[in-house]
Amino acid sequence: MPTKNFLSSDEKKYLQQALKTEIRPEVRERILIFLLENDGKNYQEIAEFLGCSPRTVAYWAVHGSPNNLETLQDKRVKGNNRKATDKYINLLLETVDKNPKELGYEFGRWTGKRLSEHLEKTTGIKLSKSQIVRILKRKKYVYIWAKYSLEDKQNSEKREVFKEKLDEYMRIAKEKPSHLQIWFWDECGFSLRTIRRRCWTGKGKRKKVQGKRRRGRVNIMGGLRYSDKKRICFMIKKGDSLTFYEQLARLNKSIKEEWIAGGNRAEDFEKKGPKILIILDNASFHMRSGYPKVYPLGIL
């Protein structure tokens, strides 16, 4: 911070005269910053007097020149806009929802820098990537992994027919669970291998984690019953067609035991027990021939 009386007599007279004739209020305020600073006021005292922040005072005290009033003018009036307009923000939100390839780019995802460069070409307004990120966060956007989609491989007509059929099945299962049960079935696995993640560490150093790669994997098959949200799952060694059939047999046994516990006879289960409809994905081992067929209806 400059010392008291740092202005020369000519500079002081120049600023005092400019204060009387200058029509731009923001420039008059910045002239006062120099004059008050010349009287020995610190940034905090000047900020309290002018009703602005100490940061604003410090900025213009450093970046402005007491010999050139143009250095006290905000550069945004010359077209280098740092504050995004409503039109800019709306265009940003429209752009980020589009695939970059639709706009002629080779890359497949947007980053703050790419959005900044694209919108600068479109609007002439240049914002930093950090400003772009702040705007998106303020608009409830988050930067997370995208989800794989198979919509381009689906038959829309068959999908609609399936939806109508399933809606009817679900209605029956809800109203008459003793006649029809719908189970949604899937498989998943959990690796026991150590996963490296980002962590704080000293500059020039790297933390280490155990690199044991052969730690095995836990596989699970299971289902969810639509009518009452009952869940059932089985731990398995691996996901294949034989294991899949074995788990369906266990599911059938579980439903049969539940039916008998309700006061029914075991020998009547095949004819009078509930029909079981299982919704599967299109995994290849769901389609194996050689055992009673399970007809997967598709993916919702």
Q: What are the domain boundaries of the chain? A: 9-73, 86-138, 152-190+215-286
Separation of alpha carbons 4 and 6, rounded Å: 6
Model confidence at 293, pLDDT cuts 50, 70, 90, reads very low
What's the confidence (pLDDT) of residue 81? 46
CA distance 170 to 177: 10
First and final C-alpha spacing in the chain: 67
Cα dist from 262 to 178, 231, 252, 256, 287, whole Å: 10, 19, 16, 10, 33
Q: Say yes or no to pLDDT of 292 above 80.
A: no
* Tokens at 146, concatenated: 């995208």
Question: Considering the chain, what is the average pLDDT of its residues?
Answer: 83
User: Which pLDDT band, with edges at 50, 70 and 90, does 294 fall under?
Assistant: very low
Which of 152-161, 268-277, 288-297 shows the lowest per-residue confidence on average (mean pLDDT)?
288-297
Instruction: Determine the CATH number of domain 152-190+215-286.
Output: 3.30.420
Confidence of residue 201 (pLDDT cuts 50, 70, 90): low
Rounded to two decimals, the pTM is 0.47
Q: Examine the pLDDT at 270 and tell me if it is beyond 60.
A: yes
The CA distances from residue 70 to 2, 18, 78, 197, 220, in Å, are 21, 12, 11, 50, 71
